[in-house]
Structures are given as C-alpha cells and as structure tokens.
C-alpha cells in the first residue's frame, strides 16, 4: 500500500503558494518568493499554477534540511549545527548532493565541513571517499583525508571491493605505494642487517650496518610491527607522532634479559631509561622520510595521468 501523503509540521505555512512533495510523500507548503533566491534550481516558471504540487526525488529528511537553510524565519542555525555536530552524519552525502542540485550555498558550506570531519572517521570514510571521488576537484582535500584514513585503517581489498573496477585498481596501487614508501626502506634495511654477537664492535666507534645482534634484531622487528599498528589505529598523524625521537617506545626487556644477558656488553644501548638499541632511531628516521614522500591521493592520480572526475 502506498504511504499516505502528509504535510511537514514545520513547513505547513497558511499563505503558501507552492507545494513541494518529497519522494516519501511528505509535503512542504512553501512560498515562491523564498525559493526565488535559488531560481537556477527552483525556476518560478517550473512551478506551474499556484497550489500545484511539485514532485522531487529527495526524501523529506533531506529536503527539510535544505528548506531550513532557505527560510530565514526558521531555525537556520539548527540545521547547520546538526550537520556540523554529527546528528545528520548518515545523511550528509545525500544532503550535499541536494544542496549542489538546488544551489543552496549555506547548506553546501556546512556539508563540506561535515564531510571533512567524516573523512577521518573510519565508520564513514569509505562513503565519503566514494562520493568525493565522483565530485569536482574542489573536493580534493576531503578525498585525500578519506584516502589517508582508509589506507592506514582498512585492508586494501576491503576498500577495493566497494569501488568500480578501474577505481579499485588505482586504489590498490595507491595503497601499495603508501605502505612501500613508509615501511619498505626500514624493512629492507632490517632484512639486510646480518645478525652478529654485537651491534657495535667493541673497539670501533659508530655502528656497523651489518652487525645487529639477535636480541636487538628481534626487538627492532617487534618495534616496526608496533609502528604499523599505530598507523592502522591512529592514521598518519599518530604514526608521525610515534616516530618522533622523544616519543619512541621500545621493547627493552628481551635485550635486558635475553640469551647471555647481551645488553651488558652489546655496546648499542643509549643512556636513556629504559635503555634501547640505538638502531631504533635509524628505523624511525627511514619511516619518517618515507612518510614525507607519500603521495596524496589526488597527487597519486595526477602522477598516473588520471584526475578527479567531474560530476555527471
């Protein structure tokens, strides 16, 4: 059975001269003069005779927000605060589509602020990414934020399976280049470091690039794994913070209590408390250099010769 037509309680204006009906059969009794400010989207000639019902494709939950922005005598701030404060998170993409379609400038501005916030929220980042990927280049900053969040917190294929084939392939390449740039140099350096009895030869100054002892090598591998977890849980910002020398946490116990108590004569520990193998700073430096070289998603598209599509 088709739903019964009803009138929105906040938009049942007694002197209304135009009726707009949502896709879910909620009517808005409005004034032509208020809609005239958005004449590109609501041309007066398109409304026909007074009292005629105009059918729109959007649901009432979306149209209500737009009309609150349009009507100066209604609570404009309420709609803006709801968008910015999270009460309409599940509708932001649909509201932004409608705000563009009907040229409601204030609504577009509030939606972009909401999309910027949601781009860093794992729950919504995929929807924001897919939406912004289909929009104009002005959404590039939001697209980059969503891509960064997804690349650090989601499996590459988890995102790819939600995308069209062409975009999925680009995403997999982007995800791989991000991981490689941040971690591959550190992984390769650690793989090349040959285990030895000591990290630093007793009668030499400086470090031997091919002399990391077994306990230190194991601890550095654990530290690198922890850094990857920081990236997945907190994203690029948390990763960058954890790589700063003053924030480096470590696993000293294996060195301190490992085979033959090597920490007493290994020669690689810092004077810090707790002690740590100084090679951890080398790995942190390599990861930081890689993080600084990561392409933004739009930069990666440009490098591939692709571009952010224009809206249809």
Q: pLDDT tens digit string along 69-82?
A: 888 666 555 666 56
Give the chain's domain count.
Answer: 2
Residue 152 lies in a domain: no
Instruction: Locate 202 and state its tokens.
Output: 């007793």
Do 90 and 203 lie in one domain? The reply is: no
> What are 213-217's contacts with CB under 8 Å, separation 24+?
213/262, 213/266, 213/268, 214/258, 214/259, 215/254, 215/255, 215/258, 215/259, 215/262, 215/263, 215/266, 216/255, 216/266, 216/268, 216/277, 216/279, 217/190, 217/193
> pLDDT, tens digit, for every residue of 119-170?
999 899 999 999 999 888 899 999 999 999 999 888 899 999 999 888 999 9
In this structure, the answer to whether residues 31 and 91 fall within a common structural domain is yes
pTM of the predicted model as reported, rounded to 2 decimal places: 0.77
* 307 is a domain residue: no
Determine the structural domain holding residue 16 and report its residue range: 6-118
Are residue 269 and residue 189 in the same domain, yes or no? yes
pLDDT, tens digit, 9 for 90 and up, residues 250-305: 655 444 444 444 444 455 555 555 556 778 888 999 999 999 999 899 999 988 88
Sign of CA dihedral 34, 37, 41, 42: positive
The mean pLDDT value of the chain amounts to 79
Between CA 141 and CA 143 the distance in angstroms is: 5
72 in a structural domain? yes
Is residue 11 located within the same domain as residue 100?
yes
Q: How do strand 53-55 and strand 26-30 relate by DSSP bridges?
A: unpaired
Residues 112, 132: contact at Cβ < 8 Å?
Answer: no
The residue that leads in pLDDT, 46 or 229, is 229
If asked whether residues 173 and 250 sit together in one domain, one would say: yes
Among 93-97, 111-115, 208-212, 263-267, name the one with the lowest average pLDDT.
263-267
3-state secondary structure at position 94: helix
Which residue, 112, 147, 110, 155, is CA-closest to 126?
147
């Amino acid at each position: 059975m088709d739903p019964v037509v009803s009138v929105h309680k906040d938009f049942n204006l007694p002197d209304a001269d135009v009726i707009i009906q949502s896709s879910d059969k909620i009517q808005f009794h409005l004034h032509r003069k208020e809609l005239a400010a958005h004449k590109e989207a609501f041309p007066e000639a398109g409304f026909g005779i007074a009292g005629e019902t105009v059918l729109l494709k959007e649901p009432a939950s979306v149209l209500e927000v737009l009309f609150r922005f349009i009507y100066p005598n209604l609570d404009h701030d309420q709609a803006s605060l709801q968008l910015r404060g999270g009460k309409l998170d599940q509708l932001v993409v649909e509201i932004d589509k409608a705000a563009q379609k009907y040229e409601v400038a204030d609504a577009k501005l509030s939606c972009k602020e909401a999309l910027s916030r949601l781009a860093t929220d794992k729950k919504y980042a995929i929807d924001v990414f897919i939406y912004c990927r289909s929009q104009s280049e002005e959404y590039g900053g939001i697209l980059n934020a969503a891509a960064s969040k997804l690349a650090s917190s989601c499996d590459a294929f988890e995102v790819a399976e939600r995308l069209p084939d062409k975009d999925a392939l680009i995403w997999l390449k982007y995800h791989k280049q991000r991981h490689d740039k941040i971690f591959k140099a550190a992984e390769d350096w650690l793989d090349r470091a040959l285990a030895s009895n000591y990290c630093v030869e007793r009668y030499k100054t400086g470090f031997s690039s091919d002399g990391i002892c077994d306990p230190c090598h194991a601890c550095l591998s654990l530290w690198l794994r922890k850094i990857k977890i920081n990236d997945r849980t907190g994203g690029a910002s948390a990763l960058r913070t954890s790589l700063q020398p003053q924030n480096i946490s470590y696993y000293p116990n294996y060195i301190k209590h490992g085979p033959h108590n090597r920490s007493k004569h290994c020669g690689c520990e810092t004077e810090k408390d707790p002690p740590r193998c100084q090679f951890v700073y080398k790995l942190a430096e390599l990861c930081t250099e890689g993080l600084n070289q990561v392409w933004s998603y739009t930069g990666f598209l440009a490098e591939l010769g692709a571009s952010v599509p224009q809206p249809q």
